[in-house]
Homo-oligomer: A and B are copies of this chain.
Amino acid sequence: MSASMPNARPRAVFQSFDEPSDPATVAPRIAALRAELAARGLAGFVIPRSDQHQGEYVPPCDERLAWATGFTGSAGAAVVLADKAALIVDGRYTLQSAAQTDTSVVTPVQMAEQSLEAWIEANLPAGGVLGHDPWVHTPEQAAKLEAAARRAGGRLEAVRPNPIDGLWQGRPKPPRAPVTLHAEALAGEGAATKIARVRAALAKAKLDALVISDPHNLCWLLNIRGGDVPHTPLALGYGVLLADGPVRLVIDPAKLSAAVREALAPVAEPADIADFASLLASLAPGRSFRLEAGSAACAIRDIIIEAGGTAEMGSDPIALMKAAKNASELDGSRAAHRRDGAAMARFLSWFADKAPAGGLTEIDAVEELERFRRETNALREISFSSISGAGPNAALPHYRVSRASNRPIEPGIFLIDSGGQYEDGTTDITRTLAVREVSEEMRRHYTLVLKGHVAISRAVFPKGTSGAQIDALARLPLWEAGLDFDHGTGHGVGSYLSVHEGPQRISKVGHTPLELGMILSNEPGYYREGHYGIRIENLIVVEPRDVPGAERVMYGFETITLAPYERALIEPSLLTEAERAWIDAYHARVLAEIGPALTGEAERAWLKAACAPL
């Protein structure tokens, strides 16, 4: 059946291709907000994209930036003053912000040209009071806003309730997806021992309590999952862990079934999220709290301090514990990657069969790949909206296809970056594919990117080395050609949690030492604006490395993603012998581990050819 017959194709379930907002709503909403600000005596108001947890995925009820400005990107902030308003976004959202907002009302500003703080400093009227919602800013963010407001001759004021919430007609209710238990066989460690480890870390730091403000950390600690945001199996809520008392699971009680309550009873005491502020205030007197600087809201700090406690901004010790996966989590992840690899192989085989004839679009590819993943019968979600880029769209590293942007896949390069959420692991893979003829230049660029990718895969480094120290390995072949890419080489990945997890990362700002069991992506790229883009991504795990004669404890990476590279884009003459040997060995492993899972004759034949030695 031809892939160009839309009705015969399965529809994507987890990904939407709709335009999510309408610029026509912007003017009346900004006008209503201005009236509300005037009534409250505020000269302006800051609207970040963040929710109360500073999360990457935000529930619909917290999409205040989208409500006010129309902008639906994953990062940005607006400032609305009486006579002007700005939407500050980073470089990847320049076009999208201008298209989604009403530019006659809200001016899109590129962060590199003028930061949020610089815009405030230049535009807030002297004597003006800039409002902000203390639940959606961290103390560090608020301090920067405050300094900017002061430089403008005004000041910052925390305001509650958020002035948008009363104006928002039909505002969605906060999500109430049921909390589920994450089996200990998959988690590899019970909540009780995890809590004991966190208590030991608190004791070492001489602190009395920890507020768990990042729901990923909460889910990890209690071995629970949920469904409150897209793509990540997150239960939104807080935890309060006392050195001398029970762990409080601060959550909407409607999310907890009787069975889950009972299972959690030995380790956590539920508390209604509606009473979070009063709970904090009751626990605070005389206690020293650690708050996570990157996710804890100003409001949490203020409540603790006003109630007579102390609040130290720092790291949540759970973040590092969660980052280093145990043997059960790694076994689960390997199984998930074999399963996902088989789905990818089926997709790649299908693509190799269908794409050359023409007629496929970016959306077709996304839908077909999701179908192969769903046919594993184990897919819970996709781990993010697939990036499916044909031609010049592949040169946009964060491109997300919509029905309006959807391009036909024509001869040249096609890039697809996608992943699946399975209960035993989260995957994330990018392959750049050739469609019919590719130019010598495309082959050269692909091979330079591949060399960097292989350099990370093969890296050997001493214990204590950070991702920042090895990031350049992925860039050297490009640098020698006068090229580079403008994103990090790799991000941390969770265990049936977020596909973007910190603090581990391979980038120039990734200063966390790489520890055994951490899962990261390895995804160098090259983007020729207006023409094509290349990215090659596998997930890798930090593993011990036995080097003969070593005087240091050495680490390296195990690659857990299993899918062939695009041989039509590899120029073998640019590879060293060692690089070629590594690729051949990897392909042999892919064939051995994925081959048996393929049932179709054509798919097996395709994989065998794709995995032959170069």
What's the nearest-Cβ distance from chain B to residue A132, in Å? 23
Q: Known: A472-B470, A508-B469. Contact between A482 and B151, CB under 8 A?
A: no
Complex-state Cα separation, A99 to B500, whole angstroms = 52
Residues of B contacting A466 in the complex (Cβ-Cβ under 8 angstroms): 508
Complex-state Cα separation, A462 to B508, whole angstroms = 13
Residues of B contacting A554 in the complex (Cβ-Cβ under 8 angstroms): 479, 482
| Segment of A227-235, A406-414, A545-553 engaged in the interface with chain B | A545-553
A305 at the interface (CB under 8 A from B): no
Contacting pair A550 B481 (CB below 8 A): yes
Contacting pair A460 B480 (CB below 8 A): yes
Give the nearest-CB partner of A480 in chain B: B460
Complex-state Cα separation, A469 to B461, whole angstroms = 15
Complex-state Cα separation, A460 to B471, whole angstroms = 15
Candidate in A462, A469, A470 with the most chain B CB atoms within 10 angstroms: A469
Complex-state Cα separation, A473 to B479, whole angstroms = 13
A394 at the interface (CB under 8 A from B): no
Residues of B contacting A206 in the complex (Cβ-Cβ under 8 angstroms): 151
Contacting pair A552 B484 (CB below 8 A): yes
A605 at the interface (CB under 8 A from B): no
A240 at the interface (CB under 8 A from B): no
What's the nearest-Cβ distance from chain B to residue A574, in Å? 14
- Give a binary string over A465-487; 1 marks a CB under 8 Å from any B CB, 0 the rest: 11011111100100111111000
Residues of B contacting A552 in the complex (Cβ-Cβ under 8 angstroms): 482-484
Complex-state Cα separation, A548 to B481, whole angstroms = 7
Complex-state Cα separation, A554 to B508, whole angstroms = 18
Give the nearest-CB partner of A528 in chain B: B551
The size of the chain A interface, using a CB distance under 8 A, is 29
Tell me which of B151, B462, B484, B508 contacts A484 (CB under 8 A): B462
Tell me which of B471, B482, B551 contacts A548 (CB under 8 A): B482
Contacting pair B483 A550 (CB below 8 A): yes
Complex-state Cα separation, A434 to B462, whole angstroms = 29
What's the nearest-Cβ distance from chain B to residue A417, in Å? 22
Contacting pair B462 A479 (CB below 8 A): yes
What's the nearest-Cβ distance from chain B to residue A326, in Å? 26
Complex-state Cα separation, A482 to B483, whole angstroms = 31
Give the nearest-CB partner of A529 in chain B: B551
What's the nearest-Cβ distance from chain B to residue A317, in Å? 18
Residues of B contacting A508 in the complex (Cβ-Cβ under 8 angstroms): 466, 468-469
Tell me which of B470, B480, B483 contacts A551 (CB under 8 A): B483
- Give a binary string over A191-221; 1 marks a CB under 8 Å from any B CB, 0 the rest: 0000000000000001000000000000000
Complex-state Cα separation, A551 to B508, whole angstroms = 20
Tell me which of B465, B469, B476, B547 contacts A482 (CB under 8 A): B547
Residues of B contacting A480 in the complex (Cβ-Cβ under 8 angstroms): 460, 547
Residues of B contacting A465 in the complex (Cβ-Cβ under 8 angstroms): 472
Give the nearest-CB partner of A455 in chain B: B476
Tell me which of B151, B468, B551 contacts A469 (CB under 8 A): B468
What's the nearest-Cβ distance from chain B to residue A489, in Å? 11
- Give a binary string over A520-555; 1 marks a CB under 8 Å from any B CB, 0 the rest: 000000000000000000000000000111111010
Tell me which of B151, B476, B549 contacts A481 (CB under 8 A): B549
What's the nearest-Cβ distance from chain B to residue A115, in Å? 14
What's the nearest-Cβ distance from chain B to residue A10, in Å? 40
Complex-state Cα separation, A149 to B476, whole angstroms = 47
Complex-state Cα separation, A481 to B462, whole angstroms = 10
Residues of B contacting A547 in the complex (Cβ-Cβ under 8 angstroms): 480-482
Complex-state Cα separation, A382 to B471, whole angstroms = 38
Contacting pair A551 B482 (CB below 8 A): yes
Give the nearest-CB partner of A508 in chain B: B469
Candidate in A462, A470, A482, A550 with the most chain B CB atoms within 10 angstroms: A482
What's the nearest-Cβ distance from chain B to residue A550, in Å? 2
Residues of B contacting A460 in the complex (Cβ-Cβ under 8 angstroms): 479-480, 482
Tell me which of B461, B482, B551 contacts A550 (CB under 8 A): B482
Tell me which of B468, B479, B482, B550 contacts A549 (CB under 8 A): B482
Tell me which of B461, B462, B472 contacts A473 (CB under 8 A): B472
Complex-state Cα separation, A549 to B526, whole angstroms = 14
Residues of B contacting A550 in the complex (Cβ-Cβ under 8 angstroms): 481-483
Give the nearest-CB partner of A461 in chain B: B479
* 12 residue pairs from A and B, CB less than 8 Å apart: A460-B480, A461-B472, A461-B479, A462-B484, A465-B472, A469-B472, A472-B472, A481-B547, A482-B550, A482-B554, A484-B551, A484-B552
In the A-B complex, list the 6 residue pairs whose CB atoms are closest, starting with the nearest. Answer: A482-B550, A482-B547, A469-B472, A462-B484, A482-B554, A461-B479
Beyond known contacts A479-B554, A482-B547: 6 more, CB 8 A cutoff: A151-B206, A460-B479, A480-B547, A482-B551, A483-B551, A484-B551
